[in-house]
Structure 1
Amino acid sequence: MAGLKDKRGFIDKDRIDLSERQSVEYFMKRWGVTKDQITAAHRKVGRMTKDIAAELGKKR
């Protein structure tokens, strides 16, 4: 699986899975947003990182 290596394992850089705490925490820190903001964007545009980043006004 291609992804970013984290202390706990790999994080998929192309998709955000809300059930994977490490993935959500990584993108919360990277983009400086809350879990609720990521969740709302995820529900609105889907699970692709580029789409969520665009919805949040962040660079992928």
Structure 2
Amino acid sequence: MKALSVTELTLQIKRQLELGFTNVFVQGEISNIKLQSSGHFYFTLKDSGAQMSCVLFKGQTKNLS
């Protein structure tokens, strides 16, 4: 088995995620939200079984309803 470089592995993961998750809406509880001086929001999105680290980039907040 050939060892993959970090770049090769992340590109393969990116391609698979893009193919399988073209339009995804996620619902969960927002916690630990922090507004950085850059204008980006960093937060945790969680439910009873899992949590994930997230970022909302500056300029994307206008898309929120």
Coarse TM-score class (shorter-chain normalised): under 0.3
- The normalised TM-score by structure 1 is 0.24
Higher relative contact order (CA 8 A, sep 6+): 1
Q: Which has the higher helix share?
A: 1
Higher strand share: 2
- Normalised by the length of structure 2, the TM-score is 0.22
